Amino acid sequence: MILEMRNICKDYPMGKTVTRVLRDVSLDVAEGEYLAIMGPSGSGKTTLMNIIGCLDEPTSGSYLLCGQDITACTDLQLAQVRNQELGFVFQSFHLLPRLTALDNVALPLLYGGVKKAERRERARAALEMVGLGDRIDHRPDQLSGGQCQRVAIARAMVGGPKLLLADEPTGALDSASGAQVMELFHQLHENGATIIMITHDAQVAQQAQRIMTIRDGVLSGGDNHEQ
C-alpha cells in the first residue's frame, strides 16, 4: 500500500467548543490506483487532502505513507516527504508569475538539491510530457489556463513522486481545457502513476477507477468501476 489511514479525526477549536471536521476516516490506496474523493463544500474533503498531503496533522488516528509513520514525523521530515514522495496539483495552479514554465517546473528539484543542469533537463522533459515543449520560456501570463494547469502537473511529476494529489484540478478551467487536463491524468495513470483527486464534479470523478464520497467528515464507498 502507498497509503494507509486508520480512524483519522480532525478537530478545530471554535471559541469554547470543538468542531470535528473528520470523523474516523480510514483509507487504503494501493500503488497504481486512481481514486476520486467527492464531496460538497464543507464536507471535509480539503481537510482530508491537507492531511494526506502532510500539510496538516490529524488530531488522532494513524497514517502510514510509503510505510512511514507520518504522525511521528518532525516538521523537517514532513517537508522532505512533501518534496520527495508527493506531487501537488491545485485548482489555482500556484505558479510563480515571474518565472518561466521551465523554472516553475524545476522548483521542486531546486528545493531538493538537484544541480542546475539536471533539473533543467528534467523540467524540459516533464514539459514535453504534458505537451508544452514549445512553451518552456513562457511565463504564466503568456499561457492559457489549461496550459498553466499542465505546467503545474509537470511540476508535480518532475520529481517522480510516489503519489499525485489533485485538488479540484479542473475547477478554474473551461470545459475544453478541463477535458484535456483529465486526459492527461488518464495518461499518467496508464503509465503507472498513483493519483488521488478531490472534486465536487461527478463527471470528473467518473474518470477515476474508484470513487469515494465524503460528507460531514465521514468517508464512504470505494468500489471499483469500469472507466
List per-residue pLDDT tens for the chain, 227 residues long. Answer: 999 999 999 999 888 899 999 999 999 999 999 999 998 888 899 899 999 999 999 999 999 999 999 999 999 999 989 988 999 998 888 899 999 999 999 998 888 888 999 999 999 999 998 999 999 999 999 999 899 999 999 999 998 899 999 998 888 888 888 888 899 999 999 999 999 999 988 888 998 999 999 999 999 987 555 44
Q: How far is the C-alpha of 76 from the C-alpha of 111, rounded, in Å?
A: 13
pTM: 0.89
- Most distant CA pair in the chain, distance: 56
| Cβ neighbours for 133, distance < 8 A, ≥ 6 positions apart | 124, 127
**Per-residue pLDDT at 203:** 87
Q: Domain 1-85+161-227 - what CATH class?
A: alpha beta
Chain Cα centroid distance, residue 62: 20
pLDDT of residue 222: 72
Domain boundaries, given as residue ranges, for the chain: 1-85+161-227, 96-160
The CA-atom distances, in angstroms, between 129 and each of 68, 110, 171 are 30, 20, 22
Pairing of strands 17-29, 163-167: unpaired
The answer to whether the Cα torsion of 10, 15, 17, 19 is positive or negative is negative
pLDDT of residue 224: 53
> Which of helix, strand or coil describes residue 115?
coil
Pick the closest to residue 138 from 99, 88, 168 (CA basis): 99
